Amino acid sequence: MTSSLPVIAHIADPAIGILQRSAIHHGWHTALVHPHAGEPLPPIADLPALVVLGGPQSAYDIAHFPYLATEMDYLARVHDRRIPLLGICLGSQLLAQALGGRVHPGDSGLEFGFIDVTAETADATDLPLAGRYFSFHSDTAAPPPGARTLARTDRYLQAWQLDTTVAVQFHPEIDAPGITALLALEGPKIAHYGIDVDAFQRQVTPAMTPPLAGERLLDSWFDTLPPGAGAKGSTRVAAPLDQPRLG
């Protein structure tokens, strides 16, 4: 038996191969929730922890995505209960805005590709944030009051923490097949920014050769949670890799 970890998605089929494998290794299974499709958010009283994924929406564009207002109110209440929260990309921006920060278009434009993330200080957090990750965003966020900034690149803030809430701008959850599927789906849009999609595709396999920074980070985050019901004696196994889109 495994424990269920709710994962809020903002597209139908997010690419979360690394997150799935890390969850399984720690005795959890991921349970996707789609508020953008009208699915109800899980009862807060039942939450052991929560992951909030990315997506193409903008956290400040409530006029076009009204369900995000409900979601941000929900995230604020989850945070207030000190339930472990992990926000990724759009998820990190929603958390920032929900907790009193501000999301806005980034001054440095699109950040796409493999980025080198540097931890702010060596003892800022128990999570191993430094490393190379896949990134795809143009919005950014000022963290909420009282948050510790944890990691940056030369262009953007990449991670912050407030109590039991951790937010990362990059994508530790997506694996090489997920990136390849994203390029197939979003290639024309990415090329519009002047990026050579074919050349980038050739970087994917070498850049995603284990050990992966995303796997190390997510394993460490799961280690901060109570063990999942199936964690005792578990071994790392491959999760399904049929997720076609980046979340």
Q: Please identify every residue annotated as catalytic.
A: 89, 171, 173
SS3 of the chain: helix, strand, coil, percent, to 5: 30, 25, 45
Contacts for 204 with CB less than 8 Å, ≥ 6 apart:
176, 179, 180, 183
How far apart CA 106 and CA 127 sit, in angstroms, is: 25
Instruction: Give the CA dihedral 182, 69, 99, 121, nearest 10 degrees.
Output: 10
Q: What are phi and psi of 132, to 5 degrees?
A: -105, 130
How far apart CA 81 and CA 119 sit, in angstroms, is: 27
What amino acid is encoded at 169 in this protein? Q
CB 28 within 8 A of CB 228: yes
> Where do we find the tokens 């899980």?
42
How far apart CA 33 and CA 10 sit, in angstroms, is: 9
